[in-house]
Chains A and B, each alone.
Chain A
Amino acid sequence: EAGVTQFPSHSVIEKGQTVTLRCDPISGHDNLYWYRRVMGKEIKFLLHFVKESKQDESGMPNNRFLAERTGGTYSTLKVQPAELEDSGVYFCASRRDGHTEAFFGQGTRLTVV
């Protein structure tokens, strides 16, 4: 079984540009989560999808961040326009309904310069 896959693994963009991160969850996992760790801080929750619906987006920092999960499969997280403080590692995790274990991807390291 393939794990959670995130693309790209690294991204370097200039302030003001747009970046889109992608997450492919494990097949059959309805729950998909985005987390991030900004420099020197802790891993923090961003939002939670159940299939294609946003269950909880209380962790999204501001309206420059837009997450989608069309069709309830893969998800994208777009940052537009990117700011310096958006630099960090963005993790995606998925979980099968009725199961307690969440599986994380390897993360996307975003650097805004």
Chain B
Amino acid sequence: LAKTTQPISMDSYEGQEVNITCSHNNIATNDYITWYQQFPSQGPRFIIQGYKTKVTNEVASLFIPADRKSSTLSLPRVSLSDTAVYYCLVGDNYNFNKFYFGSGTKLNVKP
């Protein structure tokens, strides 16, 4: 079970780009990197997933270096509504039960 390390919290201001880095030194060859977002009183929500290099969708980008021992979630131009906890998960793509949530990163976006 690949464990992850993320900063406990981050502060940002509206309109800024936010980069949250996650370390996963014991990532396995078959493991993918997935990021989830969680608002208070809600369940986690899928943001983005990748295996290597860069992945981009309508809400975020995910940068993964060649050694895959870390990854960076990039949120462009954050707003107050992006205040949430962000979890980096590493695991076999289809064995979701093997994902380790960790403590997540609490992002606080200020006006």
Within B32-66, which residues are at the interface with A (CB < 8 Å)? 32, 34, 41-46, 49
0 or 1 for each of A90-113: is its CB under 8 Å from B? (1 = yes): 011101000011111111000000
Q: Is the CB of A106 within 8 A of B103?
A: no
Inside 8 A of B87's CB, which chain A residues have their CB? 43
Distance of A101 from chain B, by nearest CB (Å): 5
Name the A residues within 8 Å of B42 (CB-CB). Answer: 104, 106-107
Q: How far is the CA of A45 from the CA of B1 in the complex (A)?
A: 12
CB of B76 within 8 Å of the partner chain: no
Q: How many A-B residue pairs have CB under 8 A?
A: 48
Interface size class of B (residues with CB under 8 A): 10 to 19
Q: A48 on the interface (CB 8 Å rule)?
A: yes
Complexed CA–CA distance, A45 and B98 (Å): 8
Residues of A within 8 A of B32 (CB): 100
Chain B hits for A102, CB < 8 A: 46, 96
Q: Which of A42, A44, A106 contacts B43 (CB 8 A)?
A: A106
Contact yes or no, B96 A48, CB < 8 A: yes
Could you jot down 5 A-B contacts, CB within 8 Å? Answer: A35-B101, A47-B97, A100-B34, A100-B49, A104-B43
User: B-side interface residues toward A, CB under 8 Å?
Assistant: 32, 34, 41-46, 49, 87, 93-94, 96-99, 101-103
16 new A-B contacts at CB < 8 Å, known A48-B96, A48-B97? A42-B103, A45-B97, A93-B96, A95-B96, A100-B34, A100-B49, A100-B94, A101-B49, A102-B46, A102-B96, A104-B42, A104-B44, A106-B41, A106-B42, A106-B43, A107-B43
